[in-house]
Structure 1
Amino acid sequence: MIIAVFPGQGSQTPGFLAPWLQVEGAADRLAAYSDWAGVDLIAAGTEWDADRIRDTQVAQPLIVAASLLSWGSLEGGGSVGGVAGHSVGEFSAAVAAGVLSEEDALRLVGIRGRAMAEAAAAEQTGMSAIIGGDEATVITRLEELELTPANYNGSGQIVAAGAMPALRTLAAEPPAGTRVIPLQVAGAFHTRYMAPAVDALRRAASTVAPDDPALTLWSNRDGESVAAGAEFLDRLVAQVASPVRWDLCMASFAADDVTGIIELSPAGTLTGLAKRAMRGVPSVAVKTPDDLPAAQMLLSGADA
């Protein structure tokens, strides 16, 4: 089974959307996405600098818009057997699986981004990636510092989140055998600090009528596939303040005989994790339209 995966926040870079505007109809689609999300996504993806697109309320709809634009440009996408997204990428996966319409997804992501930005502004918090080390030792160290393991990314990477003084202590006194990298994000996402954003998103999601997925759709909560659209939407809301278990998603990919992975724009992060955790499984990172033929070739091989 070939699957499509959709990246989360932090995968955006200045100007990355510019090549996609050469795709027929892209400008019109992005204009609609902008209206639904409440952000000028064309300007954000082509003109704004790194600091401006790092803003949570900009980054989240920008990433989802790019993913959906590249997904819509993938000829042979009907051969994809399953989808998953990392954090906000779950909204893109929900659209690809038929659970949400593009309009509902962009509208909800716009609300999610604004609510998470507001929650992040309430306290000085952040996130740091921890590379390497023994997982149990890392978790124990985080507990000592009252930090939360917000992302279990697999391949020896955990992202810690919480108060800035504790993160600075973590960097100064890391667990044995690890490297700590502060992340350029606005707050402690996927932790209790985001509880107000959960409430805001839940109110907005209550107006949406999701459909059941037409493809296998794995969840960040536990790596399991979800068969009911309403349940997946509930999980989308809750994951704002709960850990992302991408490690468990990749374990499920392996157990479900995934034979190829296509990561949609802005791509590279998830295929990088897969190359280390799922050795031997071919993958394609669709960063620009020039990468579409390689993705289509992978799909055509699955059909042969």
Structure 2
Amino acid sequence: MPKVAFLFPGQGAQVVGMGRELDAELPAARALFDRANEVLGFDLRKVCFEGPAEALEATDVSQPAIFVASLAALESLKATEPAIVESCEGAAGLSLGEYTALVFAGALDFETGLKIVRRRGEVMQSAALATPSGMISVIGLEEAKIDELCAKVAPHGRLWKANLLGPGNIVVSGETSALAQVEAIATELGAGRVIPLKVAGAFHSPLMKPADDQLAEVLASAPLATTRVPVYSNVDSTPHPDPDDIRTTLVAQVVGEVRWDDSMRRMMADGFDTFYEIGPGRVLTGLLKRIDRKVPCTSVPAR
């Protein structure tokens, strides 16, 4: 029997129109958008379905939008392939997606998760505005070379590893002055491509302080339960079933590295051999193929 795991996407997966068909066709998905509008106090459905893209891409909007759209996609899988959902034995989510995974795993209910995600987006957006900064994807350099890149850029500004996504696929975060030097230095070090990301700031770096402390306040009072299936944490690639441990790792995630490559390898080492990417986009499917081409990953889109 296959050992099934679900993967949930993070910020950047958003696209105008996501969830529209599910909302029209599936009552359970429609109920999620209805409840989200009530909890958030604005028309998330309209922003998801109609945009504009600039509104959907704002951190404090895109995070709850992807969260809700991903859970709507999960409802579609429940409706069409309930046995797969019942057989799932583990989960992981990229950054924001870790919250979606925790809802699936029973650690958070939908409303609690949505409120936390909305606040997370707000405090991260605020931290991003405090310092001109951003993120760049560097393709073709391994972690040691990225460390060298950060050291060489240091005279111009602060730069950190942020997302370790797979072999030769690492995202760096830093101040705008540092980012301006990345392409030239990364190319000298042998990078194949350097791609600036459309994000508000240097996520998963120390520049996100004090967003982590503000999120900690929210999580401290939020009701969490023990996970019913393991959710592999971004910060250390390890499942944390205990609610207090979950709080600790979610706070650490704001300023810490997303070790996605390690998480996928740990899951495969633990016997997971069949994956489903649930939510908008196919980024996680592509990342998994770079890590191990033989492992199947099926997309369950937020159409």
Give TM-score scaled by structure 2 length. Answer: 0.91
| Aligned residue in 1 for 2:277 | 263
Quote the Cα distance in structure 2 between the aligned partners of 1:198 and 1:46: 31
Quote the Cα distance in structure 2 between the aligned partners of 1:87 and 1:35: 25
Contact 1:130 1:157 survives alignment (8 Å): yes
What is the Cα deviation at residue 38 of structure 1? 4.3
Deviations 1:258-302 (A, max 9, x none): 11110111130111101121221111111146xxxxxxxxxxxxx
| Aligned residue in 1 for 2:150 | 142
Query: Counterpart amino acid of 2:37?
Result: S
Runs of 4+ that moved beyond 6 A: none
Quote the Cα distance in structure 2 between the aligned partners of 1:39 and 1:6: 24
Query: Counterpart amino acid of 1:61?
Result: P
The reply on whether 1:110 has 2:118 as its aligned counterpart is yes
- Go from structure 1 to structure 2 and tell me whether the alpha carbon gap of 1:32 and 1:250 turns closer, same or farther (over 3 Å shift): same
Quote the Cα distance in structure 2 between the aligned partners of 1:9 and 1:69: 16
Quote the Cα distance in structure 1 between the aligned partners of 2:29 and 2:72: 7
- Alignment match of 2:228 (pick from 214, 223, 227): 214
Deviations 1:211-250 (A, max 9, x none): 1110021110111122212211221122111111101101
Percentage of pairs with the same residue:
36
Question: Aligned with 1:174: secondary structure?
Answer: helix
| Aligned residue in 2 for 1:15 | 17
Question: Aligned with 1:3: secondary structure?
Answer: strand
- Alignment match of 1:196 (pick from 210, 224, 236): 210
Contact 2:37 2:44 survives alignment (8 Å): yes
Quote the Cα distance in structure 2 between the aligned partners of 1:187 and 1:28: 33
Contact 1:223 1:249 survives alignment (8 Å): yes
Q: Which blocks of at least 5 consecutive residues in structure 1 are unaligned?
A: 290-304
| Aligned residue in 1 for 2:129 | 121
Deviations 1:31-76 (A, max 9, x none): 2123324442201110112222111001100011111111123222
| Aligned residue in 1 for 2:293 | 279
Q: Which blocks of at least 5 consecutive residues in structure 2 are unaligned?
A: none
Matches within 5 A, 1:144-293: 144-145=152-153, 146-175=158-187, 176-178=189-191, 179-288=193-302
- Alignment match of 2:52 (pick from 23, 37, 49): 49
Query: Counterpart amino acid of 1:189?
Result: F
Contact 1:150 1:189 survives alignment (8 Å): yes
Contact 2:135 2:174 survives alignment (8 Å): yes
Query: Counterpart amino acid of 1:268?
Result: R
Query: Counterpart amino acid of 2:270?
Result: D
Contact 1:8 1:85 survives alignment (8 Å): yes
| Aligned residue in 2 for 1:78 | 86
State which drifts further: 109-118 or 23-32: 23-32
What is the Cα deviation at residue 187 of structure 1? 0.2
Query: Counterpart amino acid of 2:162?
Result: A
Quote the Cα distance in structure 2 between the aligned partners of 1:39 and 1:148: 35
